[in-house]
Amino acid sequence: MDRMAIIFTPFSTKKNLIRPILSDINEITPISTCFIRLVELKEKDICALYPSLVKNPIFQRIVACLSAGTSLFVLLTGENLCLTTKNIKGKFRHENGVVKASGLRLKYQKDRESFEFLFHTTDSSKETDDIGIRLFGQDYLRTVKNLELV
């Protein structure tokens, strides 16, 4: 059973996109929601989410997107969840002032011009735990321990 985190951007949180996006994922693969917390992401947290993009010129747009207010961290469990979600979430690019999106990112995009990629997902249970521990410490660890006891 995979553990995967979705971090919904402040925009997604304000526009109430969490439930519809989770519903779309649940239609493809059954999920259980185990832990939900609001979080104010700082640049150092976003560096941990995107270590390979820190030196990329697009990184400051990612920081602006994720640090523009309160984000929502949702921990999910499910079979093959990381791979399945990776296939349906789609891609997001911003080229010459035009958004190129696919999958769920296209379905729920803000508009065709704004840099707003809606959510970040982790790619493995280990990455999920690393981020969960970084952001929530013992509170997150207690939740994961309880999941393993079930």
The pLDDT tens digits of the residues spanning 94-127 come to 888 888 899 999 999 998 888 887 999 999 999 9
Question: CA–CA separation, 12 vs 117, rounded Å?
Answer: 9
Question: CA–CA separation, 16 vs 72, rounded Å?
Answer: 11
Per-residue pLDDT tens for 62-103?
999 999 999 999 999 999 999 999 889 998 888 888 888 999
- Fold entry, domain 2-149: Alpha-Beta Plaits (3.30.70)
Distances (CA, A) of 2 to 14, 47, 147: 28, 24, 11
Q: DSSP string of 30-85?
A: --EEEEEEEE---HHHHHHH-GGGTTSTTHHHHHHHHTSS-EEEEEEEETTHHHHH
Question: CA–CA separation, 29 vs 101, rounded Å?
Answer: 22
Percentage with pLDDT > 90 across the chain: 77
